A and B are shown apart, each in its own frame.
Chain A
Amino acid sequence: MIKNRQVVVVLFIVLLFAGSWTTTVAKDRSGPSHLFQIVLLVGDHDGETELKDVPPNVLPAVDDVRQFLTYKHYRFVDSAVMRSNGKAEVSMTGPENQQIDVKFAFHLAQVDEAGKRKIQVRSFEVGAIDAPPNDQGWHGVLETSFGVDAGETIVVGSSKLNGSDRALIVLFTAVR
């Protein structure tokens, strides 16, 4: 009877080890870390265009956006670079000095036929905490999911339906 108990205990430990090892293997499949760059812009119908602080690598995307969207002026707000292997979150400074939080999860998808690494970004959220005395807690500004190639800059933006007022523009770059 004692021997049987010992065998059951040994089996339990072996299965426990197997389960944890398998989980580890599954987690490792989330892949290596990746470098991301986030640049915040504001599109507005008033004010002035101020883009001198925009990182050079996203300038072509900014030019594309300026030709495509209807806002008269674009203003650089803040930028950040982060490395992550699954989830990322960064606090930035917004156009009115409020706190802007950008958070997302991602996984590296398979390499396509052209040899480009695909990255699936999900739960990409931007939220704000207004600066005092207007602080009313965290509120979401935009939320979406998208796919991006390694090395690509994708523009994620939000505005009211009719495009009036101003827009928050996020240039999201999956750096190599």
Chain B
Amino acid sequence: MKKQDRDEQLRRWLREGDPLTDAAEPTSATRATVVEAARQQAARRESPALRLAAGGLVAATTVFLLLTWIALRVPDTTTMPPHTGEIVTLPTDSQARQVQFTTPGGTRIVWVLDPNFEI
């Protein structure tokens, strides 16, 4: 079968299977309405403002979730001083010296030795 014949046969099948074959042709007013509706829908779909708004909303949501995740995941970087009972000398910003020790009874003491101490 030639390609032309095959195409013609296909068109015939399509016409026979089309339930609206015998329907009346749409009026020009109906056509105009349909065309206008399609045009408006396309305009809405392609509105740059809407596209920007959608993208912005996604970006804002991403930033929001990222900030929340960071806030909840920030590690606790502060370290606890040693709790060993050994004397630990810690630097201070003045002439004062600081030592930490633990009594035999288990009480921890933080002592600041300050030549300028006055009370």
Interface residues of A (CB under 8 A from B): 3-4, 6-8, 10-11, 14-15, 18-19, 21-23, 25-26, 29, 42, 60-61, 63-65, 67-68, 94-96, 107, 109-110, 118, 120, 122, 128, 139, 141-148, 152-161, 166-168
Contact = CB atoms under 8 A, between A and B. Distances in A.
A22 B69 CA distance: 9
17 contacts: A7-B53, A8-B56, A10-B56, A22-B71, A29-B71, A65-B107, A67-B103, A68-B107, A68-B109, A94-B119, A109-B76, A142-B114, A144-B112, A155-B109, A156-B109, A159-B112, A160-B115
A121 to B, nearest CB: 10
Contacts of B118: 139, 141
Contact of B56 (A11, A64, A159): A11
B83 interface: yes
A29 B72 contact: yes
B67 interface: yes
B81 A147 contact: yes
Interface stretch (B2-10, B15-23, B92-100): B92-100
B111 A68 contact: no
Given A26-B71, A145-B81, 10 more contacts: A18-B64, A64-B105, A65-B109, A109-B80, A122-B78, A139-B118, A146-B110, A147-B80, A156-B112, A157-B110
Nearest to B106: A64
Chain B interface residue number, banded: 35 or more
Secondary structure dominating the interface of A: mixed
Given A10-B56, A146-B110, A155-B109, A3 B119 contact: no
Interface centre among B70, B103, B105, B110 (most CB of A within 10 A): B110
Which are the 10 A-B pairs with shortest beta-carbon distances?
A3-B49, A147-B80, A18-B64, A64-B105, A64-B107, A64-B103, A22-B67, A158-B112, A26-B71, A14-B60
Interface in B64-96: 64, 67-68, 70-72, 74, 76, 78, 80-81, 83, 90, 92, 96
Given A60-B107, A157-B109, A141 B119 contact: yes
Contacts of B113: 158-161
A96 B106 CA distance: 31
